[in-house]
């Protein structure tokens, strides 16, 4: 299931639930290290006016901002997954298709130049095959942007789900969430290092 085009729509909710406790611990540790660096950095800056005395404070504040942003993105993702789970538990689903005729059931897939792509009658009869074909097209379309693989995988997952209404956790840009998670992990050793440097300078 996960190896199909758009399999991210199935994998992401599972990963989010598995990573809730580690994600919370990551935020708590990063916030603690950043706050410590900020506090010690303030004391260093109050005692010294050297050109490097502001570094512990600056990196501590930066760590707090990055950690707070990642915490907000994780909260968004968790809320969206819970909304999706409650909707599925209630047995209600919403399906969306692209169609030139709002009263018909035909799904039209266009390539980058706007040309309609042919498809077989069997695929037209099966909405799941329609979504998988659209997901395959989206996954193969690598745009000139940052982290193009992640961006294409998200578009493919949205197509496979039939729209973000069926998978609200896919609406936020996953690239931003991923980068903020990496930055939060880096905030721990960096803030810890500058906290130690500040502590040594205060002794």
Tell me the per-residue pLDDT of 11-33, one tens digit each, with 9 for 90 and over.
Answer: 888 989 899 999 999 999 999 99
Q: What residue ranges in 18-59 does DSSP mark as E strands?
A: none
Tell me the per-residue pLDDT of 41-95, one tens digit each, with 9 for 90 and over.
Answer: 999 988 887 778 899 999 999 999 999 999 999 999 999 999 888 877 655 444 4
The average confidence (pLDDT) of the chain is 82
Question: Is the pLDDT confidence value at 123 over 70?
Answer: no
**Residue corresponding to tokens 């209630």:** 90
* Residue boundaries of the structural domains of the chain: 8-91+98-202
Angle at the Cα of 21 (from 71 to 7), degrees rounded to 5? Answer: 80
Question: What is the spatial distance between Cα 41 and Cα 55, in angstroms, rounded to a whole number?
Answer: 7
User: pTM for the complete prediction?
Assistant: 0.75
Instruction: Give the C-alpha distances (Å, rounded to integers) separating 143 from 19, 112, 152, 153, 176.
Output: 29, 10, 8, 11, 17
Question: What is the spatial distance between Cα 203 and Cα 199, in angstroms, rounded to a whole number?
Answer: 6
Please report, to the nearest 10 degrees, the dihedral formed by the alpha carbons of residues 89, 103, 129, 82 taken in order: -20
């Amino acid at each position: 299931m996960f190896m199909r085009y758009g399999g991210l729509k199935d994998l992401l909710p599972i990963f989010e639930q598995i990573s809730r406790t580690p994600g919370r611990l990551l935020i708590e540790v990063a916030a603690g290290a950043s706050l410590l660096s900020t506090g010690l950095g303030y004391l260093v800056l109050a005692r010294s006016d050297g050109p490097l005395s502001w570094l512990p404070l600056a990196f501590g504040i930066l760590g707090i901002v990055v950690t707070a942003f990642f915490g907000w993105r994780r909260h968004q993702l968790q809320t969206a997954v819970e909304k999706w789970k409650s909707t599925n538990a209630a047995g209600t689903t919403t399906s969306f298709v692209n169609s030139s005729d709002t009263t018909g059931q035909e799904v039209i897939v266009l390539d980058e130049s706007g040309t309609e792509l042919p498809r077989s009658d069997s695929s037209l009869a099966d909405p799941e095959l329609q979504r998988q074909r659209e997901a395959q097209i989206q996954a193969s379309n690598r745009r000139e942007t940052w982290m193009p693989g992640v961006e294409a995988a998200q578009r493919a997952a949205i197509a496979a789900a039939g729209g973000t209404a069926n998978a609200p956790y896919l609406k936020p840009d996953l690239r931003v969430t991923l980068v903020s998670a990496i930055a939060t992990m880096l905030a721990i050793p960096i803030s810890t290092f500058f906290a130690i440097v500040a502590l040594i300078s205060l002794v």
